[in-house]
Amino acid sequence: MARLALLSVSNKTGLIELARSLVEEFDFEFISSGGTAKALKDAGLPVTKVADYTGSPEILGGRVKTLHPRIHGGILARRDVSEDIADLENNQIRPIDLVVVNLYPFEQTIAKEGVTLPEAIEQIDIGGPAMLRAASKNFAHLTILCDPAQYEEYLQEMHRSNGEPSLEFRQKCALKGFLHTSSYDQAIAAYLSNNQTPTNKESELPQQYTLSGKQLQSLRYGENPHQSAAWYQTGTTPTGWTSATKLQGKELSYNNLVDLEAARRIISEFIDTPAATIIKHTNPCGTALGNTIHQAYQKAFNADPVSAFGGIVALNRPIDAGTATELTKTFLECVVAPGCDSEAQEILAAKSKVRVLILPDLSSGPKETVKVIAGGFLVQASDDVVADTSQWQVVTQKQPSDDELEELLFAWKVCKHVKSNAIVVSGDRTTLGVGAGQMNRVGSVKIALEQAGEKAKGAILASDGFFPFDDSVRTAAAAGIKAIVQPGGSLRDQDSIQAANELGLVMVLTGIRHFLH
């Protein structure tokens, strides 16, 4: 008797080619439902509709088609258990040797603009996951294919094994089946979680947090050559860096991607004005605003040209010829921008190893951040609060001018993205000194002021956390700093405020801390 395959796919890529090979080379017969049956019939391939095979019509507008004992009995029957074989014979059920199923396009549907909740709900597949799970469970006796990319490998396996795929191959396919249904269910749960009725506990994270992804590519190594690494995409629709276009350059590395995300986070703070940032080890060595993107990059580069060597550059405006020329004057690992004109592309091509990426939307990022620890992981809401100077408190006798307030805002936005303890010194909307990741705040202050040098005179200083003592305020004043922005909240805030008044500084408290560990 011919072997039986059940084909029921939403994505019909490669379906006809697979089916034709199964009929002509391996003597398969098909049962199928809905659009899959029609596609096979239109291609001149013999097929029995599921409704004809089960004797039960499709009902509820197609919601119930394959949920039937003749289907699931044929999938789940153990061929080496006599009772199972007897049940098949007594109920006129044929054993199914191959199940080819992929699911309704739920993630593609919810990715569409304006999709409604009822529209999304109708794309939640029920029969498909049931068949996928059943076939995956019974991999000892049949094969499950859930991805068109598997079809060619399956046919090769059939030829290699005289039509009987190995247990190892079937188990590998079963694993892919379970991973597929797991990812599918997680996408549905995440969507419904984001679309539930708001409560007075909107800030709470879910009791169960799931994270899954499909490997996009294997990376040469992780942070160091002895560490393996891979890049995973969450969801089936490319977003964020998975949707970026690489115009040129070598393959992206693990460290490149980590630094690119740090650069994206900083540049997303600046929308209305051309801005550029240069990143090394996730910290900005230069960030600046300008009248043009060319000017902004020059200012950012000149802020610390030594550290800029081998850096990651993010621009919030398309790359033009002038900016491209400047970019080629030093060694850079990566450049990302929302666009790049043709003349700029030709100029950048002279540095063919530089990775140039186009990411039109640099502002959209994850809603949560995740860190893995031994035995679990930590999840927190992203630090995406928008700075609002109207909520800041000027606590000194001296008041900031409008220009000083804008400079304080610039320094505060950059400081938010520097590793704690973080200090940023700025002037003319350009970072002049950055103190990052020190074990004490005084150390970060000294590093930032030393880097700024003479430029610290008349400059602004931002601190991501409060000053526990007034020593940093006095050190800043001695270097020529004229205004300080910090969150406040120390038991000894008054000591710092008093020192600022004594030394003629402006001090502004934001009321918001921006630690970055």
> How many CA atoms lie within 13 Å of 181's alpha carbon, on the beta-carbon side?
21
Tokens matching residue 308:
């800029």
Contact 297, 274 (CB under 8 A): no
**Which DSSP category does 149 fall into?**
G
Buried b (16+ CB within 10 A) or exposed e, 183-205: bbebbbebbeeeeeeeeeeeeee
Cα dist. 135→126, 131, 176, 235 in Å?
Answer: 15, 6, 11, 24
pLDDT < 70 regions, the chain: 1, 196-203, 236
| Distance separating alpha carbons of residues 360 and 345, to the nearest angstrom | 16
Which pLDDT score is estimated for 200?
A: 47
| Distance separating alpha carbons of residues 414 and 27, to the nearest angstrom | 66
Contact 505, 481 (CB under 8 A): yes
| Distance separating alpha carbons of residues 462 and 356, to the nearest angstrom | 32
Residue 461, beta-bridge partner list: 425, 484
- Which among 102, 177, 104, 87 is positioned nearest to 134, based on CA atoms? 177
Which pLDDT score is estimated for 184?
A: 82
Element (H, E) at 76: helix 69-76
Contact 221, 243 (CB under 8 A): no
Structural domains for the chain? 3-194 (3.40.50.1380), 242-358 (3.40.140.20), 389-509 (3.40.140.20)
pLDDT digits (tens, 9 = 90+) for 6-47: 998 888 899 999 999 998 888 898 998 878 888 999 989 988
Which pLDDT score is estimated for 197?
A: 58
Which pLDDT score is estimated for 67?
A: 79
- Which among 337, 297, 298 is positioned nearest to 319, based on CA atoms? 337
**Which DSSP category does 454 fall into?**
G
User: Residue 407: helix, strand or coil by DSSP?
Assistant: helix
> How many CA atoms lie within 13 Å of 504's alpha carbon, on the beta-carbon side?
5
Tokens matching residue 443:
């150390």
Which pLDDT score is estimated for 51?
A: 83
- Which among 194, 141, 143 is positioned nearest to 173, based on CA atoms? 143
Contact 68, 78 (CB under 8 A): no
Catalytic residues, by residue number, are: 137, 281
Which pLDDT score is estimated for 196?
A: 67
Residues in CB range of 301: below 8 A, 6 or more apart: 276, 278, 286, 308, 326, 330
| Distance separating alpha carbons of residues 177 and 137, to the nearest angstrom | 9
Which pLDDT score is estimated for 203?
A: 57
pLDDT digits (tens, 9 = 90+) for 228-259: 999 998 876 788 999 999 999 999 999 999 99
Query: In one letter, which amino acid is 407?
Result: E
Phi, then psi, of 280 in degrees rounded to 5: -135, 125
Helices within 97-245 (DSSP H only): 106-110, 117-121, 127-137, 151-160, 167-194
User: Residue 305: helix, strand or coil by DSSP?
Assistant: helix
Contact 516, 464 (CB under 8 A): yes
Residue 245, beta-bridge partner list: 358
Tokens matching residue 49:
């509709």
Residue with tokens 């609002």: 388
Give the pairing of strands 393-394 and 506-509: antiparallel
